Chains A and B, each alone.
Chain A
Amino acid sequence: MSQSSLRSPMTAVSSRMRAYFAAVDRSAESATIFDPAKHGMFNLEAPPSPWVDLGWIGNFARFCGTTIEVAGAGSPVAPVRQCRSSLTGRVEFDFFEWGKLQMALAGGAQHMNVLDADPNSEAQPSGGTPRAALALLPGSTASELVLGTGAVNSFAVDDLLAVDTDYQQQTGYIGTGLSAAYVRDPQDVLRDVNYVRRVTFNVGRVAGKTASSVLLAQPLLGGAPAPSAAAQKVVAFIDREGGSFFQEWSALFVHQEQSGGRICFYYPRLSPSAPHANDQTGYEREHRVAISSPLGAIALHASFLALPYTDRNDNETVLCYRAYFPAPGAAIY
């Protein structure tokens, strides 16, 4: 067998991209870290905790608006130095899958759970006065909610539930584990005891029941419920055009490594923004992806502005990271 001296292939081929998001601690402005040394080649079906898999995405595009100033000197003036005078980075894509988190990220403002309403309540576009919440009992976890014998019969298999604490007139970010909204004045939310559960990301679907508890199909995003948490049935999700709250999440996008090398884009802090193609007439919130006329999938269009992050390794302010994991045996340059 003869040995060739050809350089090994370095072409990156990918047909699909997958998105993962994780919470930013809004009070501390602390991002979730994606460490490529620890997690780089993770199984795309099982992302490292606490990253949440939001499925395959399409029409992914990154935009760089960073400006570079050139300082000149001499006669004639010649460039002698450059500096980055402003940092701007944006990213846009379409979610092909719909869910609570996908809607919240594409919508951008506080995302609401429509709580199962009392039939006699006044109609409201985001849901009227809900039926009373059921308090959780000790021993509840992110996957099993202990309600007690009898009370557990209030929920059926396949029900959607919102699980969080009662609103207790606090101001600031609310939501257990994940910041779901910001309350400036309790009167803004009518001191509604259910308001936290109206916006919480801690939602789940009942997959099974025991004599005293319900078992969730997916664990609550915010982890184990607080001791004073309660559960209410959810019938739908709502986002709205408008609102004062801005979501902020850490994001990771991965090109599936069909030719062997993996490319990842990590954004420590992303906040919803207007799309790049914004103009006088606005833009499409949803994109229609043709399947075969007249069938089409409805994709949620999402657009984000990258917020700054200070890399502790060298104290540089950056917006995003592009990581490349060469295929085994691939040439490096």
Chain B
Amino acid sequence: MQFAKDSFYLALRTRLAALNPARGVNVNGVNRTAVLVAENEPAGSFRPLPNAFYINWGSARAVEGFNQGSRPLLSLDCAISYYSTGTCESAVDWGRVLGALDTELLCISHPAFTRKLDFTQSPSADLGTNVFWSPPVVSDLQKAGGDGLFQHMAQLVVYFFPEADLP
């Protein structure tokens, strides 16, 4: 399952870097493309940065109708959250930036598949199947913390076949 998560994350990160190289964030002094996985960030003091996509993994299950046999098709709920404080001090353009983030997310979600790779080795190893996902559905505005900020959250489902190699 971790390989599917990693492959999805790296597909989005690579596509965003190509689509909009300027969409980056500085995390602990390191410039990174603005796609991050919440569960991979330091626990405790973690606080999402603006103008960045945070992948949040949800529950996993076997897909009905494809859960028989030795290699079931699994699904994994995924929510991608992001918010903006705008580009100026008054933050009056936060809605425009949020709209731009919406567009970028929808663009990097296509095509809705990528190869599943094992990134624990170098060079990464092809695991023989694809990871694919449903079209993202962007929610209405939601409160983002207690700062009067609003975020968007895109829901989608990631599908994959479990690995033959069990770590």
* Residues of A in contact with B (beta carbons under 8 Å apart): 1-9, 11, 13, 15, 256-260, 327-330
Contact = CB atoms under 8 A, between A and B. Distances in A.
B161 to A, nearest CB: 4
Given A7-B71, A256-B111, A330 B165 contact: no
A6 B71 contact: yes
Interface of B: 66, 70-71, 73, 111-113, 115, 126-130, 132, 159, 161, 163-167
B112 A15 contact: yes
21 contacts: A1-B165, A1-B167, A2-B165, A3-B165, A6-B164, A7-B71, A8-B71, A9-B71, A9-B73, A9-B128, A11-B66, A15-B112, A256-B113, A257-B113, A257-B130, A258-B132, A260-B113, A260-B115, A260-B128, A328-B126, A329-B128
Contacts of A328: 115, 126, 128
Contact of B70 (A3, A6, A260): A6
Contact of A259 (B126, B129, B165): B129
Nearest to B116: A260
Contact of A258 (B66, B113, B164): B113
Contacts of B70: 6-7
Nearest to B66: A11
A327 B129 contact: yes
Contacts, number: 65
A257 B129 CA distance: 11
Contacts of B163: 4
4 nearest A-B pairs in the assembled complex, by CB-CB distance: A329-B128, A258-B132, A9-B161, A4-B164
B127 to A, nearest CB: 7
Contacts of B129: 8-9, 259-260, 327, 329-330
Nearest to B120: A1
A7 B164 CA distance: 8
A302 B167 CA distance: 50
A4 B166 contact: yes
Given A1-B167, A11-B66, 16 more contacts: A2-B165, A3-B165, A6-B70, A6-B164, A7-B70, A8-B128, A8-B129, A8-B164, A259-B129, A259-B132, A260-B128, A260-B129, A327-B128, A329-B126, A329-B128, A329-B129
A259 B113 contact: yes
A13 B164 contact: no
A13 B112 CA distance: 11
A329 B130 CA distance: 11
Nearest to B111: A256
Given A6-B71, A258-B132, A329 B127 contact: yes
B123 to A, nearest CB: 15
Contacts of A15: 112
Contacts of B164: 3-6, 8
Nearest to B165: A1
Contacts of A4: 163-166
A15 B163 CA distance: 23
B132 A13 contact: yes
Nearest to B167: A1
A13 B163 CA distance: 17
A7 B70 CA distance: 7
A15 B111 CA distance: 11
Nearest to B164: A4
A256 B66 CA distance: 20
Contacts of B111: 256, 258
Nearest to B166: A2
Nearest to A15: B112
Contacts of B126: 328-329
Nearest to A8: B128
Nearest to B112: A258
Nearest to A45: B111
B130 A1 contact: no
A27 to B, nearest CB: 40
B74 to A, nearest CB: 11
Given A3-B164, A3-B165, A257-B113, A11 B130 contact: no
A11 B128 CA distance: 12
A187 B166 CA distance: 77
A1 B73 contact: no
Contacts of A258: 111-113, 130, 132
A5 B130 CA distance: 19
- With a 10 A CB-CB cut-off, give which of A5, A9, A329 has the most chain B CB atoms: A9
A188 B22 CA distance: 63
Nearest to B128: A329
A3 B125 CA distance: 14
Given A9-B71, A15-B112, A1 B128 contact: no
